[in-house]
């Protein structure tokens, strides 16, 4: 029976997955498909290098590997903010391209540069997940907790890749690379599939930034963003006034009933920058954006439980929740009992 090296199996699976993702509608899915194709190319080149050891493959491998964390960061950054990523993210891949081409003449530390690059992006994703995911503009509010988890998984995979590179360096230093194939098999069998799944999830849950935007909303958001950038940090009283304004819009337009509601949409409708809204929710209300929106949804659900005979399944859908488990968890956290128990209490 013919044995196919693991890198080629992973590469083939990633290409099939890229085709399936690319067939989906939306630019976010196209970005994820491009990431998968890059991972497939990188894995394929790794497999070919260990079979053939051509100089062109040795040159291509670090170049392709340097693009993976940049593309992953791009997908997550588009979910976080609509503006994308800064130009300097292309510096390290450019340096590695030059280093790979000129390697025969001055032997630059390519492995060390790749290791540091993966470490930096891994730490960056963890920081994004822990400190900034709460004001991600293009992720539905109900998906923010899961998005934070997915970002941590992606960051961990990039840090794991740095560990793989370090293990390879140690292996070549002390054992002449005798364990290299097993190390690479472990890395490419776990790292790229897990990272790819994280990228696919975040792209599938990224709402198009132009969704539900009219000219007036765009002008308000632009003006508000400029004001937010030009002003200093607002005082507590100013943030309280801002939150009253945002809450008024949220309630009057029943935005909280939209299961795909994003912070960007709240910002457009209210004319307040998304970062300022998140800051106000944290400092004035002492909660995160997801909890804040869910307060309005649970209040709406309570009214439906009291005033109608609708089944709980219909009520959680009508209140803006996407899953029954999330609805029950939030309802129990805020009210102290299940929806069914609450309805029975009100009927007594």
Mind listing the pLDDT tens digit for each residue in 60-119? 988 998 999 999 999 998 888 767 688 899 999 999 999 999 988 988 988 889 989 999
The pLDDT of residue 226 is above 50: no
Nearest to 268 by CA among 246, 248, 288, 290: 246
The neighbouring-strand residues paired with 140 are 262
Q: What are phi and psi of 206, to 5 degrees?
A: -90, 120
The whole-number pLDDT of residue 1 equals 41
d(CA 57, CA 49): 6
Out of 94-108, 131-145, 207-221, the most confident range is 94-108
Supply the DSSP symbol for 273.
-
Task: Supply the pTM of this predicted model.
Answer: 0.83
111 membership: H or E segment, kind and range: helix 110-127
| pLDDT exceeds 90 at position 347 | no
Give how far the C-alpha of residue 118 lies from the chain's centroid of Cα atoms, to the nearest Å.
Answer: 17
The rounded mean pLDDT for the chain is 84
Q: Would the pLDDT of 4 be above 70? A: no
CA triple 231-236-239, angle to 5 deg:
60
**pLDDT given at position 297:** 96
Predicted local confidence at residue 220, as pLDDT: 45
Residue 232 is predicted with a pLDDT of: 60
Give the Cα separation of 147 and 76 in Å (integer): 9
Q: How confident is the model at residue 341 (pLDDT cuts 50, 70, 90)?
A: very high
Checking if the pLDDT of 311 tops 90, the result is yes
Question: Would you state the pLDDT for residue 216?
Answer: 37
Map residue 109 onto helix, strand or coil. Answer: coil
185, exposed or middle or buried, with CB in 10 Å at 0-12, 13-18, 19+?
A: middle
C-alpha dihedral sign at 163, 168, 170, 175: positive
């Amino acid at each position: 029976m013919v044995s196919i090296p693991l890198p080629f199996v992973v590469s083939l699976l990633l290409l099939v997955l890229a085709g399936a993702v690319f067939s989906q509608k939306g630019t976010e899915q196209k970005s994820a498909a491009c990431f998968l194709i890059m991972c497939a190319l990188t894995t394929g080149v790794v497999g070919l290098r260990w079979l053939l050891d051509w100089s062109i493959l040795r040159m291509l491998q670090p170049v392709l590997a340097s693009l993976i964390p940049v593309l992953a960061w791009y997908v997550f950054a588009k979910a976080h903010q609509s503006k994308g990523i800064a130009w300097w993210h292309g510096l390290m891949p450019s340096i590695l391209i030059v280093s790979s081409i000129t390697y025969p003449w001055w032997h630059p530390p390519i492995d060390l540069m790749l290791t540091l690059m993966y470490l930096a992006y891994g730490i960056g994703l963890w920081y994004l997940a822990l400190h900034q995911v709460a004001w991600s503009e293009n992720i539905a509010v109900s998906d923010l907790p899961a998005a934070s988890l997915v970002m941590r998984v992606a960051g961990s995979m990039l840090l794991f890749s740095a560990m793989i590179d370090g293990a390879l360096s140690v292996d070549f230093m002390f054992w002449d690379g005798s364990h290299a194939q097993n190390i690479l098999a472990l890395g490419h069998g776990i790292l790229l599939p897990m990272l790819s799944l994280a990228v696919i999830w975040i792209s599938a849950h990224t709402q198009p930034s132009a969704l539900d935007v009219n000219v007036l909303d765009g002008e308000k958001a632009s003006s508000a963003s400029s004001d937010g950038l030009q002003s200093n940090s607002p005082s507590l009283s100013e943030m309280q006034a801002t939150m009253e304004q945002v809450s008024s819009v949220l309630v009057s337009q029943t935005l909280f009933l939209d299961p795909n509601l994003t912070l960007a949409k709240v910002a457009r409708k209210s004319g307040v920058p998304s970062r300022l809204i998140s800051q106000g929710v944290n400092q004035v209300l002492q909660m995160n954006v997801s909890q804040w929106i869910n307060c309005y949804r649970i209040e709406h659900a309570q009214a439906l439980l009291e005033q109608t005979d609708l089944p709980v399944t219909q009520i959680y859908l009508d209140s803006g929740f996407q899953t029954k488990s999330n609805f029950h968890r939030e309802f129990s956290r805020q009210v102290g009992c299940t929806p069914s128990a609450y309805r029975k209490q009100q009927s007594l």
